[in-house]
Amino acid sequence: MNCDQVRDHLLEGRVAETPEVQQHAAECSACHELVATRGLVEALRAGAPSANGAGQLGQLQAQVRAELSRETSGPARLRSMRTRTRLLLALALIVAIGVVEGTLLARADMPFVPTEHLLPMLGILGLLAVAAAWVALRPLFRPALPRSFELVVLLLCLSVPAALSFVQPDTGHHPSVDGFGADFFHHAGACLVHGLTLAVLVWLAFRALDRQALGSGLGALVGGMAGAVVATLGLQLHCAIPAAPHWLFGHAGVGAIVLVGLWIRQRL
C-alpha cells in the first residue's frame, strides 16, 4: 500500500486500523500523521458538499441571478439608479406636469391672473412637492428621518392646498362658472377627477422610483401626498374658478382622498 492508497482509504471513510494501513504508517511519517489525525479528515469529509448540496447551491445561485436580472431590467432599473438621478426624474415629472397644465390645459383667464399672485403660489407648491419627493425617495442607507419631520411634511401637504383656497384672485371670469349654485358639484367634481388623475400618475411614478416601492410608513404616505400637491399645482394653472368652496372640495379634496386611500391600502 502506498501513500495515495492510504489517503483514499481515509477519505472514503474506511477503517484506518487495517494491517495494511498500519504497516505503511509505521514506515511513512507523513501517513503516520495522517492516520493520527483521521478525526479531522473525517470531519472535513463530512463537511464536503454532497451531490444534493451541490444541487441546492446551484438552485440558490440561479435564484440570485434571476433576482439580479429583475433588478437591472425593465421598471426595476429606475429603482437601481442613484438617488440624485431619481430625484431629478421626479423633479422633471413635476415640471412637465406644470408645463402641460400651464400651456395646453391653461385656465381661460390666465392672461388676467396677477403674476405677483400666481408665482408665489406656484413657488410654494413646487417647493412643497420637491420636499415631499425628497422624503419619499430618501436612500435606504441614510439614517431614517425623524418621524416628527415626516409628519410635518405630511400635514403641510394636506393643509397648504386648503389654505390657498381662501386667497384665489377673482379675475372677472364669467359668473356661470363662479363655483356656486346648481353647477357646484359638476365643476368641483371635474376638478376633483382631474386632480386625482394627476395625483395617481405622480404616485405611480414615485412608486417606480422608490427603492421600497412606497410600501409602508409615513414616508409612503408623504410620497402619495406629493402627488396631491402636484395635482394642486396643476389645478392652479388649469382652473379659473376662485371660489373657496370649489377649491376646498375640488382641489384640496384631492389630498384628503389620497391620504385616506393610502392609509386604507397600508392596513389591508
| Per-residue pLDDT at 3 | 66
Of the two residues 232 and 179, the one the predictor is more confident about is 232
**Structure letter (DSSP) for residue 251:** I
pLDDT of residue 157: 95
Tens digit of pLDDT for each residue in 171-214?
776 554 555 667 888 889 999 999 999 999 999 998 888 876 56
Q: What is the pLDDT of residue 104?
A: 94
220 or 159, higher pLDDT? 159
**Residue 52's pLDDT is what?**
55
Share of the chain above pLDDT 70, in %: 71
The answer on pLDDT for 217 being more than 60 is yes
Residue 51 and residue 146: Cα distance in Å, rounded?
51
Question: Would you state the cell numbers that stand for residue 72, as one nine-digit string?
Answer: 437591472
For CA atoms 261, 264, 266, 268, the dihedral sign is negative
Residue 35 scores a pLDDT above 80:
no
Are 86 and 78 contacting, i.e. CB atoms less than 8 angstroms apart? yes
CB atoms inside a 10 Å sphere around CB 181: 11
Q: Write down the pLDDT at residue 199.
A: 96
The SS3 call for residue 143 is coil
Cα within 13 Å of Cα(37), Cβ side: 10
For the stretch 115-153, pLDDT in tens is 999 999 999 999 999 999 999 888 777 888 888 999 999
Global pTM reads: 0.70
The pLDDT of residue 208: 86
In this structure, what C-alpha cell is assigned to residue 106? 391653461
B/e letters for 83-119, b = 16+ CB within 10 Å, e = fewer, are: beebbebbeebbeebbeebbeeeebebeeebeeeebe
C-alpha–C-alpha distance, residues 247 and 3, integer Å: 92
Per the listing, cell 425617495 goes with 137
Position with higher pLDDT, 193 vs 223: 193
Model pLDDT for residues 43-76, shown as the tens digit of each residue: 545 555 555 555 666 777 677 667 656 655 666 6
User: Residue 111 has what DSSP assignment?
Assistant: G
pLDDT of residue 54: 56
